[in-house]
Amino acid sequence: MRTLSETARSIITLLNNANELIVQSSDRKDARDVMRAIRVYGANKGFPLPQDKIDNFYAVLLDARPFTLTSIIKDIAEDVIKIDKKR
């Protein structure tokens, strides 16, 4: 079984941090900032991210329930794993 690259692991860690901010701290502003950092980090590392899902995250961030946001974040993490395995 192949392990994930350092870049993918870092992105997944940041996604987990964003989720923790939403679920435990109800801090959606900082979660938005973490998602921006993920976009910048992915771009700097040349790692393609699912931009449509990240845009969807931003679109529902303020109004969605934490479970919905967690589902979106998990979906992004699954895409990161798929993308990393293809690379």
Q: Domain ranges in the chain?
A: 6-86
Token pair for 37: 């950092």
pTM reported for the whole predicted model: 0.93
Residue 11's pLDDT is 98
Token pair for 77: 């993490």
Are 62 and 78 in contact by the 8 Å Cβ rule? The answer is no
Q: What does the pLDDT profile of the chain (87 residues) look like in tens digits? A: 469 999 999 999 999 999 999 999 999 999 999 999 999 999 999 999 999 999 999 999 999 999 999 999 999 999 999 999 998
Question: What 8-state DSSP symbol labels residue 21?
Answer: H
Residue showing tokens 């392990």: 3
Residue 2's pLDDT is 67
Residue 54's pLDDT is 97
Residue 87's pLDDT is 84
